[in-house]
Chain A
Amino acid sequence: MTHLLAIGTVKGLFLAHSEDRRSWQLTEPKFLMNAVYAVAIDPRNQRLLASATSEHWGPSVFTSDDLGRTWQEPSDGSLSFPADTGATLERVWQLAPSPSEPGVVWAGSQPSALWRSDDGGAHFSLVRPLWDHPHRPLWGAGYGGQAVHTVLPHPSDPDRLTVAMSTGGVYRTEDGGQSWQPSNTGVKAYFLPDPWPEFGQCVHKVARDSADPERFYLQNHHGVYRSDDGGRNWTSIADTLPTDFGFAIVAHPSRPGVAYNWPLVADGERMPPGRSCRVYRTEDAGQTWSPLSAGLPQQQYYDVVLRDGMCADDADPTGLVFGTRSGEVYASADEGESWNLVAGHLPGVLCVRAAVVDGTAG
């Protein structure tokens, strides 16, 4: 078995493999000059999925069934907005294989929309009830564009799904996507006249707890929160973090109450606090956070990790990976206790995913 790491960057997809998660073999980039905003490693069949967007030739979703050696896409494209919407796909921000339905893969896109595939990610259909939601005309665009960037299928109930968008906030369905409820109570939108709106928050990332599917962790545009009731209500868990700004938040894949955060000073100072590179971990669902820094640069560090730039793998012990806007990738093989450099000088990293696979990266 091999550890596979997929690194989506602004200029292509890099794959790496490792036997020990310390020494990594990096392969030549795929989708050169395409921005890869989303990757997924489907645990059901080892299929890789990648969203690649060319500034010239538009967006596509590709799949690979040989760990990245060859890639396929339908000639008519994977995702297309129906003619009556008048919309055009800008890019796909999230690819999420369903843990509860064979063959189902979800995608989140810019403009903000949710898509469902029933053939493992080859063809996607627009989820119309969310597209037709009366709130949609009021969802805004942040600097990165208006997008559904987070899709969290329920681990066992296919009727339940949670999405997050910037701006707009969190929405959930409990009837398989037929109806959608905003789920932002307690999440602040300091940049609006009413800072506690029903929707309109600039949510950066949401992660679901591994043991309790009702529990979520949320990194907001200022604010870090937890929900214990499926997203209906949120309370702050930022008190012992050095700051409450950042983009990435990751739940440990098997230990309940464990999550990771990559703080930045503030909206107006998007650099790590203390100019040191530190991942913060909670082991009590956000009541307390502790820094993890062994092997990471601790001086004059100015880099940023974006919303999908950090992930956990599915190995035991759990590994973690993060990639930065300046093209550095760090990995930990021991739950974040220590880190080593996977690669430097890559194009800016947009997303990372890691998993144990049978084979090596192509």
Chain B
Amino acid sequence: MCRVGVPAALRQFTEGAASVPVEHMDGARLSAVLDLLGTRCPGLDRRVRDEQGELRRFVNVYLDGEDVRRLDGLATAVPARAEVLIVPSVAGG
């Protein structure tokens, strides 16, 4: 199981929870973890990923403090007890 930290802007999909536990296989790909998160919190996943399954441009995901775009992106293996953090990047005016 990992915990996924959810920013305030998306907590309407988590009943207000700042983080959500996700049961997954040790080492599962981040994309699989986001699939499970989407099942648990309908509407949340498509805010993070577009309809082709890619991370939205101004959404960052950190795995234990590391930007997954500097790892293997959505193919990054997520260990059990990892901390996954969804963060909006700085954008806009």
Contacts and interface: CB of A to CB of B under 8 A. Distances in A.
A54 B42 CA distance: 18
Interface stretch (B15-23, B28-36, B52-60, B75-83): B52-60
Interface string B57-93: 0110000000000000000000000000000110110
Instruction: Find the residue from B47, B50, B51, B59 having the highest chain A CB count within 10 A.
Output: B51
Contact of B43 (A55, A75, A86, A87): A75
Contact of A56 (B51, B52, B56): B56
A138 B92 CA distance: 30
Interface in A70-95: 73, 75-77, 80-81, 83, 86-89
Interface in A48-77: 54-58, 73, 75-77
Interface in A82-122: 83, 86-89
Contacts of A75: 42-43
A33 interface: yes
Contacts of A76: 42-43, 46
A56 B9 contact: yes
B interface bracket (residues with beta carbon within 8 Å of A): 10 to 19
B40 to A, nearest CB: 12
A86 B58 contact: no
A168 B89 CA distance: 34
Chain A contact residues: helix, strand, loop or mixed: loop
B52 A57 contact: no
Given A33-B92, A75-B42, A75-B43, A56 B50 contact: no
Interface residue range, chain A: 10 to 19
B52 to A, nearest CB: 6
B1 interface: no
Given A75-B42, A81-B52, A83-B52, A58 B47 contact: yes
Contact of A58 (B46, B91, B92): B46
Nearest to B7: A56
B59 A80 contact: no
Nearest to B49: A58
Interface string A268-298: 0000000000000000000000000000000
Contacts of B9: 56-57
Given A57-B10, A58-B46, A75-B42, A80 B58 contact: no
A88 B57 CA distance: 12
Contacts of A33: 92
B51 A80 contact: yes
A33 B7 CA distance: 15
Contacts of A83: 51-52
Nearest to A10: B93
A146 to B, nearest CB: 17
A251 B89 CA distance: 42
B11 to A, nearest CB: 12
B85 to A, nearest CB: 14
Contacts of B59: 56-57
Contacts of B43: 73, 75-76
A193 to B, nearest CB: 34
A174 to B, nearest CB: 31
Contacts of B56: 56-58
Contacts of A81: 51-52
Nearest to B46: A77
A82 to B, nearest CB: 8
A1 B89 CA distance: 45
B46 A56 contact: no
Contacts of A73: 43
B8 to A, nearest CB: 12
Given A57-B48, A73-B43, 19 more contacts: A55-B58, A55-B92, A56-B9, A56-B47, A56-B56, A56-B58, A56-B59, A57-B10, A57-B56, A57-B59, A58-B46, A58-B50, A75-B42, A75-B43, A81-B51, A81-B52, A83-B52, A86-B52, A88-B52
Which 4 A-B pairs rank lowest in CB-CB distance, beginning with the nearest? A75-B42, A80-B51, A75-B43, A57-B47
10 contacts: A33-B92, A55-B91, A56-B47, A56-B56, A57-B47, A57-B48, A58-B56, A76-B46, A83-B51, A89-B51
Interface of A: 33, 54-58, 73, 75-77, 80-81, 83, 86-89
